[in-house]
Structures are given as structure tokens and as C-alpha cells.
Structure 1
């Protein structure tokens, strides 16, 4: 990662970014579920788009909006903050024989290749995988490099699954690939030394890695790397920035963001705590649009959930998901009546705010105040009353957020790079290592001593 040519210091770049984020916080500083309740998209003017179909595959917001001051100013400022990454070609040399989707296979192959190259250059003989899951990455690392691999995983089911897979499919790796159940914290350097001494007596130097190093795991791994002398290299692929620990619920400030002294000073000076909250970090982790082809689905998902929120606010309900994918939107084909039916009966729990959710069995049947049939009828009425302009505005809103996302993610990652440099690790950078059209989490932090 390098600074855009307009900037000659991290301070000037951070300062320009924070001012930009403050100016355009109306695009992100709220839950997306509130876009209708709070009238967020009402401020988006689409007068010049009256005769333009924003859902066409060749629609380009930048070119269509070049004569609209709001968009023109936005893009002019945004372009100055962009950091360019080289495109990644798909690597087809190595094949993974495992029940994984193309996205996961591509991520594993690309990361394993980068680990092999870095370890070979730095002279590492062992790789430690933080959050090893079912061990797919660890087996590929061993197959392609023959290094020792230690996989650390906190989930009991995944840890047991990795051991079973190894004994069934990779029995030849049992002496070199080891799995330990352990929850990583910033203090795990003590445990890690013990694990390495126990499992690999010949470990001289090692590389820390993590695929989908969620929330604070990337920062914890960085701090472990700084503390351990024989940790010589590190490659981490961060994700889920919005799940980072909040230090104080009253002010919403995070424990590990900002991280560098450089950004902390600018963050305080520019009152970043007012507009760099959970929605800011959530947008950083949001997948980018690879094309216009799925903009209709995204608009439907955004507005359908926003309509639920209108209903919830009207009747003083809190909406809680019953499962990770509350509504299987791919199976309802953008049919709101089906969405509302599924949401009210299967996907969400509607609880009046004066009730204790923990005292309810997670079923709307036990919430006597909620009538799913009545709710579905009213939700359909709200949906049908949405004017056509709302759908255009929602599409424009999504496209603007899509432009903002890489700037925010770069900003967060650069903060981590500067933190490592402040702590003496000058050989630190960020690179794209997977094809963004296959996996939106395509960036990796690199460091070596």
C-alpha cells in the first residue's frame, strides 16, 4: 500500500480522509435498516435521472451524475483518496480436493502461495494459522511447502472436525500439521511459545497467518507478532471490522480503532468518534459490487428490511433475527409478499420494547402482542405505497456506498500499517492477493522482521 500521489505523509492523508468521511457521513452513519424511517435517501436528488434506468447493466453513476453537483463534488474528492491495487489473475495450478466453494478454494490457494513465497524469502520453517477452522488452509500449506503448520482454533466443533479430516484424508501430515484448541488474545504469545516448543522442537522461526481474521483477531495477531522474537513474518487477511470490541458502551469507542498514534491524534482533533462508529466499520467490510447485474436484488433487500423497520417503529417493536440468514432472499425472487411472510413467521422475532427478550421463547407464537397475519397485510400495504422514485434513490444510495467502501477499508488498514511502523516494523505493507471478482475480502497485511 502506498499513499496517493497527492499526499506526502500519513498525517495529511488521514486528515483528508476524516474530513471527507465527516462531510459524507449521511451515506453511512446509521443502520441501513433505517433508510426509510429516518428519511436517509430522501436527500438524494435524482431529478436528472427521471428518464434514466438506474438498473440497466450499463448505467454508470459517475458519468450520469457528472453534471449534478452532489455527485461531482463527491467523486472529485473521492478520487484523490483512492489507493490503487494491481488486479490478481486466477491461479489454476493447484487444485483443492475438498467440499468447498470456488471463493474459499481461491482464497486458500492464493494465501498459501503467498505464505510459501514469504517464508522462503525470510527463512521461516513453521506457519501458525490463527483461526484455522477445519484445517483446509493448513493442509494446503503443508502440501505445497512441507513446512510445519500449527493450527489454532477456538471452536470445539471445528477443532474436532480438523482432526477427523486429517486422520481420514491427510494421514501423512500428522507429524507436521498439528491442531490445538485455543482462543487467541493479545496475551497468547506465552501460550504460543509453549505450543511450538511442545509440537515442533526444531522450530527456529515462524510465520503468523490468518484467513478471515475477524474483528480484533488481526490486531491481536499483530501484537503477538511484535512481542515474539522468533515470529519473523506475518500475512493476515482481515474482515468483519464492525465486530471489534467496543471499549465503552456509553461513547461507542473501539478498543483497537484507531490504533496508531498518528491517526488517534487526528481522530480526536476531527471528532471522528461522532461519525466513525459501527456503521462506518460495517461499510468497510461490505462486499463491493462487481457489476450492475445484482443491483435490483440489493435494492430489494435494502428496502424490504427497511419496510420491516417502519412497521417495528410504528408499533414499538424491536426486531431480532432468529437465525443468521433471517430470510432466504434468493428463494423468494424479490417477491415482497413472500419476504414479509417468511420474515414474520420464520426469520425475525418482533418484541415490544418493554418486554424482556431473554424471557421469551424465540418464537412469535409466544409474543402475544404480535399477529403475523395482520403484520404481513400491513407490510404489503407499506411496500405497495412506496413510490418508484424510492427504488431509484435506493439504487443510487447503494452505488454511492459502493464507491465509499474501498476508501474506508484502506483507511482502516493503513492505520494498522502505521501502527506497526511506529513499533519498528518498517517492512509492512498491504496488497491485494486474491481476485476481487471472486472474493470481496481480497486484501492482506504483510510484515516481516
Structure 2
């Protein structure tokens, strides 16, 4: 890692330690942790007075003259950390066309932009076989074969996905049989021998391998970095990590590098780089936040407060919450109190209370519980906009958090003598995890 990157990591950790109150909590705990109490009085007044355009300007690093002076200092620090170039700037090649029924716009966007980059890196390193980790239904492997004629070993842990991929191959991609081989494998750092055997068994010896992975979730991306360093015939790596917050929170794989561990010890970073930090690092980017309309921001602010009130009252009742479905019912009501009433009416289908006292049973429909919900909503509903501005601050520092994660992974491979850099592949407003980690053991002659 360059001295510039080391300096960036240090400065980022100092900044994040100083301002951890902005992000070091679950957003549903904004009331239970009394997060807004951290706002200086003049900041709170300023937050209440800004409109959506001001909020978007804040996230982009532009403030009005009326902003409190120390708040301007905060934004200046964010601007400086956001503008530092921490990744090699390489323009991605144009996407290639690919038609397949059943694919979302996001998935098409991702594979059509990633495939030509993989081809480019394979050409640079003279790789003649691709091993795709987490191949899913096989769309990326099929594109790499059809467009660039690479044989692909497609590895997937899910037997169900493998069976579907094989059925699709028979029906839709019969020409790829014998060239795109699907295998059920649980991939981790210890899989080097297994993968090398599969390569030789299906494609013969003396293959030069490029490891790839789209949406290498949670710990998988770090496990693949370790794996890459262990496979002797792997010359290149192109992997797009995601879901940082799903990593084991024992700090086994984050930080991954020796330098990262040293800096984390120096700045006591383990206390503010846990799940909340990692969740922010893989949230929507600031570009998505500033594209929200006034109405969308208002709805989002109210929904955040609805959930915060529920969390607060549940804890008051000595209960934990169990979510019954991924998304809660949303109200189209213009009146915020009617919107809260709609949220309350939907609770029975969206959340369940689990009492810590087994002898005390409480339901979200109990009159006492609903009354307390009303009371806390009435008490805090005027703070909705402050919460939304706080979410804007989180959006402003999201990129800094992700930089820390990505640079640590770059350093992990560089410490092993492997050239490595991050490269932006996709439009972050379509696919937020837009970075690919690219590594090469051999350099072009």
C-alpha cells in the first residue's frame, strides 16, 4: 500500500472514532440510544431549518453560510476524505449486450459491465480458464463463454441453484456443455486443492486461472483472497464483494491485513467498526440519497421514526422484536398521524413481541402497548426530520466507511507480494456495491 493510502486509513479511523455517534448504532435504536442528544443545540436548530435542497447539498459537501461553524468543520473533513482517490482510476470498458429472460435490470447491468473487465484482466495475465465462485444460475459464466470463449468452472454452494443452472443450460445454453461446468462446492481458504483437482479433471493440466465472483457475500470475499494466494495456477482475480455486515463479528476477517490490525489497535477501532459500521459501508451510496424527492424523504423520515418508536416501547416492556416479514406495510397517507395509525394497524402482520419474562405475554395489539406507542410517537414525531438529516450524514460518510474496508483488503494481498487495486465497475445508483477488487500475480510483459 502506498504511503498515501496508509495516511488515508489513519485519517479515516481518526475521523470515524471522533464522529462514531453518527453511525455506531442500529438506526432502529435512534431513540433507545438517545442518539439525537449528541447533536449540539445549534446543530439541532440548523437541522430543523433546512429543506430538501439544503439536505442534498449537505450530503454533497455544500453548506449554506448559516450553518454552525463546527458543523462546517465536520463537512470539510468529510469532503477531504471523500475526495481522496483511494482506488486506481481506470475507466471500465463498455458493457456488452446480453439477453436472458427473468433477469432484473440490476443483474443485467452488473454482468454486462463485469464480463468485459474480466476479459481484459484475463488478456493481460494470459489466463485461459475462469473459475467463477458463487455462480448462481450461471449467467456470468455463460456470458464469459459466449462472448469471449473462455471455459468456466462454475462453483456454487447451493445444490438447488446448481440443479436449476444445469436445467437452464440444457434448455437455453446447450452449446456451453463441456465448456461451462457446474460443481457444488463450499468455497473457503482451504478449497485450493479441491479446485485444482476439479480444474485438471474437467479442463486438463497447465491452465492459467482467473478467479471471479459477483456478489461475494460476507466473509466469502476475504476467504477468496486467501484462496487466491494459495492456488499456484491462479494468476488473476476479479471479485466484487458485498454484504460486509454479514461477516462474522469476531474481527477474524476484518481487518484482514497486518497493517489494518496494527492501525485498529493503535486507534482502538474495534469499538466502532462492528456491525453498524459494516452495515453503513454497504448501504446505498450518497448518489442514491440525493436522488430522493421531498416526498420520499418525508416518508423515509417517518418510517425511521415509526420503527424507532416500536423499538423503544418494546424495550420499555422488556421485550425483543421478531420481524415476521422483510418489509413492513407502508402507508400512503399524507397526514403523519394517519400514517402512524396505518403502521400501528399493520404491526400484527409485520412484528412479534418476544418477552424476556416467559410468564409475561404481550402482543402488539394489546391496548396498553398501543397506547404507549401513541405516547412515544406524539413525543418524538417532531424529531423525524432531524433523524432524516442524520441519515444524510450517514450517506455522506458511507464512502469513507467502504474505503476502509476495501483498502484493508487491497493491503492484505499487497502484503503477500500481489499487485492489487480497486476499480469501479457499475453505476452505484443501480448497483451500490460497484467496486471490484482486481489482483494479478504476474505482470504483463
Partners of 2:5 and 2:169 lie apart in 1 by 45
Alignment partner of 1:19 out of 14, 20, 40: 14
Q: What is residue 284 of structure 1 aligned with on the other side?
A: 281
Q: What is residue 79 of structure 1 aligned with on the other side?
A: 79
Q: What is residue 250 of structure 1 aligned with on the other side?
A: none
**Contact 1:151–1:179, Cα closer than 8 Å, also in 2:** yes
In the TM superposition, what are the counterparts of 1:356-435 in structure 2 within 5 Å? 368-374=361-367, 375-376=369-370, 378-388=372-382, 390-425=383-418, 427-435=419-427
Alignment partner of 2:240 out of 230, 237, 246: 237
Partners of 2:211 and 2:182 lie apart in 1 by 15
Aligned CA RMSD, in angstroms, stands at 2.5
Distance 1:163 1:49, change over 3 A: same
Alpha-carbon displacement from aligned partner over 1:81-104 (angstroms, at most 9, x marks no partner): 224476978956403222111111
How many angstroms does 1:400 deviate by? Answer: 0.4
Partners of 2:159 and 2:332 lie apart in 1 by 32
Partners of 1:165 and 1:376 lie apart in 2 by 50
In the TM superposition, what are the counterparts of 1:168-317 in structure 2 within 5 Å? 168-201=171-204, 204-247=207-250, 254-289=251-286, 290=288, 291-293=291-293, 294-317=296-319
Partners of 2:373 and 2:331 lie apart in 1 by 20
Partners of 2:259 and 2:92 lie apart in 1 by 35
**Contact 1:260–1:415, Cα closer than 8 Å, also in 2:** yes
Alignment partner of 1:48 out of 46, 49, 55: 46
Q: Does 1:118 pair with 2:121?
A: yes
- Equivalent residue of 1:372, what SS? coil
Alpha-carbon displacement from aligned partner over 1:189-214 (angstroms, at most 9, x marks no partner): 11111111122115511111111111
- Equivalent residue of 2:25, what SS? coil
TM-score, normalising length: structure 1: 0.87
Alignment partner of 1:32 out of 27, 32, 38: 27
Partners of 1:371 and 1:265 lie apart in 2 by 47
How many angstroms does 1:376 deviate by? Answer: 4.3
**Contact 1:126–1:203, Cα closer than 8 Å, also in 2:** no
How many residues were matched structurally? 424
**Contact 1:134–1:159, Cα closer than 8 Å, also in 2:** yes
How many angstroms does 1:235 deviate by? Answer: 0.6
TM-score, normalising length: structure 2: 0.88
Q: Does 1:154 pair with 2:157?
A: yes
How many angstroms does 1:140 deviate by? Answer: 1.3
How many angstroms does 1:329 deviate by? Answer: 3.8
Partners of 2:80 and 2:340 lie apart in 1 by 40
Unaligned runs of 5+ in 2: none
How many angstroms does 1:129 deviate by? Answer: 1.0
**Contact 1:27–1:400, Cα closer than 8 Å, also in 2:** yes
Alpha-carbon displacement from aligned partner over 1:280-315 (angstroms, at most 9, x marks no partner): 111101111422324334323322211110111110
**Contact 1:340–1:380, Cα closer than 8 Å, also in 2:** no
